[in-house]
Structure 1
Amino acid sequence: MYHSVAEHTEDPYGVTVSPDRLDRQLRWLRRRGLRGVGVGELLRERAAGRGARLVGLTFDDGYADFIGEAVPLLRRHDCTATVFVLPGRLGGGNEWDPLGPRKPLLTEAGVRAAVGAGMEIGSHGMLHIELTGIGDEALRRETEGSRRLLEELTGRPVPGFCYPYGTVDRRVARAVRAAGYEYACAIDPGPLTGTYALPRVHVGEADTAWRLYAKRLLHPLRRRPVPGPAAPSAAGGFRTGLTGAGR
């Protein structure tokens, strides 16, 4: 689970990774015979009995630096990723972070450029608001509405959703499934873990090789694994064979 990729000195929420650090992290993956892909591809490959050496890479919030900084590095290492975009804030900024720093978000052209570079586009909702406390109509706008806008923009299906702040309950997970998504990403969804509440691991600037190694070992212990295919999940979806790869 990544967010922004940029040189930085101020990062109160721990959402920024420098280009050099991302380059080293991707190199670490590749040297171990692993390859980063979008979550949709990961799930399809695992369902087909393949993909044991694939790792799902996600970039939340749809920061503009995804195109200029992340995409060139992903392509250098023969990786792809899912970038979760906020169609209600295209060309805007991260106003939901009161401490800043202010970061520009992808424009419509930036989203299309990500598609052209082979990246998967997913929805992060319309406006980056916590979904568990909003009404039914607002929830439909954040789920169905955001998917419709992104599909109109890209001309392609939008298979995945990412819960803002990682916050999800059964009602929200059911709404995401009803909106037509194939999967959804959370952070640590506990008993809701399943195709519509996939667990992820945050990756930040401090994650050197030994920390990545430790996270890889500890992830199955710290996050409830997603068991075998076609078992009903608590979120009302179907579990998959994925055992786990934001704000």
Structure 2
Amino acid sequence: MSADTVSAGPLWAAMYHSITDSAVDPYQVTVSPARLDRQLRWMRRHGLTGVSMERLLLARARGSAAGLVGLTFDDGYVDFLTNAVPLLRRYEFTATVYVLPGRLGGTNEWDRPGPSKPLLTEDGIREAAAAGMEVGSHGLRHTDLTEADDALLREETRGSREALSAITGGEVTGFCYPYGTVDERAMTAVREAGYRYAVGISPGPLTGLFALPRVHIGQEDTAPRLFLKRALHGRRREPVPYAAYAPYVDTPAVEAAAQEGSAS
């Protein structure tokens, strides 16, 4: 498969944040463990397999992504490790967690007012990776890249990638735009920092490998709502061609990984 190959059509990726029981959720970013369990069970019953974004893109580049759902968790909360990972492993799913190496062991200070929630430490990040989860960058400190000057933009993209690579001991390939905000300048900085893909939220004129859209999944998403969201995600716009995951597509190892992802 050449680097010019494209995979047309919508890409099904779900966006989560915090997984915990909470009576206060002003930003609608919290899903209870019980609800997540039911949502993952719904996916399994409908022949869907949750995978990390990297595995989804590998399979997509090969044309074998049918039945795969990208599962993503923004911000890197401790509850991803304590509440989400056990459920993901129960269903033999994987996921991507986008973390903030500039706030290790800190809290979600950007969500004020709102409940304070602890973020993963270095050990927590390594534990998530050891559990088979992809670790991606959410920047250093949850900064809106469209408002950052050049120096801060480099720090939030290249600097966060280097910090995470030092923590995990591996390559960091994915980036998640804080607040979902992205423009040409931010997208260029992410690409030049060495990432191989990036995710946002809603589809837009920049949609592609460095601005992949996702569907927000919340506490109120019961089985009927999940069915509608999946259907509407595929039909609400004309199919958009995404460039193939070019750095990987011509190696036997990638083909094997793609086959593994589609079979899991």
Q: Quick check: TM above 0.5? A: yes
2:215 is equivalent to residue 201 of structure 1: yes
CA distance, structure 1, for counterparts of residue 58 and residue 194 of structure 2: 16
Write the deviation string for residues 75-102 of structure 1: whole angstroms up to 9, x where unpaired. Answer: 0001000000000001000000111100
* Letter paired with 1:211: R
Q: Sort the Cα spacing of 1:224 and 1:8 in 2 relative to 1 into closer, same or farther, 3 A.
A: farther
Which residue does 2:120 correspond to in 1? 106
CA distance, structure 1, for counterparts of residue 68 and residue 204 of structure 2: 23
Q: Sort the Cα spacing of 1:165 and 1:217 in 2 relative to 1 into closer, same or farther, 3 A.
A: same
Alpha-carbon distance, 1:188 to partner: 1.1
Is the CA contact 1:190–1:223 (under 8 Å) kept in the aligned structure 2? no
* Letter paired with 2:126: R
TM-score (norm 2): 0.85
Which residue does 2:109 correspond to in 1? 95
Alpha-carbon distance, 1:69 to partner: 0.2
Which of the residues 90, 109, 132 maps onto 2:146? 132
SS at match of 1:192: coil
CA distance, structure 2, for counterparts of residue 126 and residue 189 of structure 1: 24
Which of the residues 5, 29, 45 maps onto 2:43? 29
SS at match of 2:188: helix
Which residue does 2:17 correspond to in 1? 3
Alpha-carbon distance, 1:189 to partner: 4.0
In structure 2, list runs of 5 or more residues that go unmatched: 1-14, 246-264
2:75 is equivalent to residue 55 of structure 1: no
Following superposition of structure 1 onto structure 2, how do residues 113-152 of structure 1 map, counting pairs within 5 Å? 113-152=127-166
Alpha-carbon distance, 1:229 to partner: 4.1
Alpha-carbon distance, 1:223 to partner: 5.8
CA distance, structure 1, for counterparts of residue 60 and residue 66 of structure 2: 7
Alpha-carbon distance, 1:202 to partner: 0.3
Write the deviation string for residues 160-189 of structure 1: whole angstroms up to 9, x where unpaired. Answer: 000000000001001100000000000014
Q: Sort the Cα spacing of 1:223 and 1:105 in 2 relative to 1 into closer, same or farther, 3 A.
A: farther
CA distance, structure 2, for counterparts of residue 106 and residue 225 of structure 1: 36
Alpha-carbon distance, 1:49 to partner: 1.5
In structure 1, list runs of 5 or more residues that go unmatched: 232-247
Is the CA contact 1:131–1:168 (under 8 Å) kept in the aligned structure 2? yes
Alpha-carbon distance, 1:220 to partner: 2.5
Alpha-carbon distance, 1:147 to partner: 0.2
* Letter paired with 1:75: R
Write the deviation string for residues 209-245 of structure 1: whole angstroms up to 9, x where unpaired. Answer: 00000001111344664325459xxxxxxxxxxxxxx
* Letter paired with 1:219: H
* Runs of 4+ displaced beyond 3 Å: 221-226, 228-231
TM-score (norm 1): 0.91
Instruction: Considering Cα pairs closer than 8 Å and 6+ residues apart, tell me whether 1 or 2 has the greater RCO.
Output: 2
Size of the aligned set, in residue pairs, is 231
C-alpha RMSD of matched pairs (Å):
1.3
